[in-house]
Amino acid sequence: MRGLLADTGYLLYRLGLRSGQLFNTSLQESGLRLRHYAVLRFLATSQGVLQRELSTRLGYDPSAIVGLVDDLERQGLAERRPAPDDRRSRIVVLTESGRAFLRDTDEAGRRVTNDLLAPLDPAEREALHALLLRVADRP
């Protein structure tokens, strides 16, 4: 196990798994998962986005985006609308119910993050976040 603990990539993988498990548990009652939440969070920053852009920006397979948006539409959290500049294309927009859902889950997200990062003091958390942003921002 020591070899694995010396591998930063493995530690990031383990942290990602743990984060996903905790967050999925907090979302369990809603029937959604972290991937749905990520789509909703992204939609909250836009006035609507094409599905293919969601796929690119979130790093999800295009076929996975279709299923995720279908799930969100069934729950009334997002909807597809004709794109204003191309009626053949559809944009995905967050509904008012989707906005309310995000407000309701904000506290759960903070709890998950606080649980994960409990061993770190506030300055260490800030430093970790800044470092992860630098790494994640690379193509």
* 91 vs 26: CA distance, rounded Å: 28
Token reading at 133 = 């942003």
* 35 vs 60: CA distance, rounded Å: 9
Q: Are 72 and 78 in contact (CB under 8 A)?
A: yes
pLDDT of residue 139: 59
Which runs of consecutive H residues, i.e. helices, occur in the chain?
2-5, 8-27, 34-43, 51-58, 62-74, 96-116, 122-136
- Low-confidence stretches of the chain (pLDDT < 50) are none
pLDDT of residue 136: 83
Can you say whether the dihedral through the CA atoms of 47, 37, 101, 106 is positive or negative? negative
Token reading at 76 = 């009334």
3-state secondary structure of 57: helix
Instruction: Give the up-direction half-sphere exposure of residue 117: CA atoms within 13 A in the CB hemisphere.
Output: 16
pLDDT of residue 120: 96
Predicted structure pTM score: 0.83
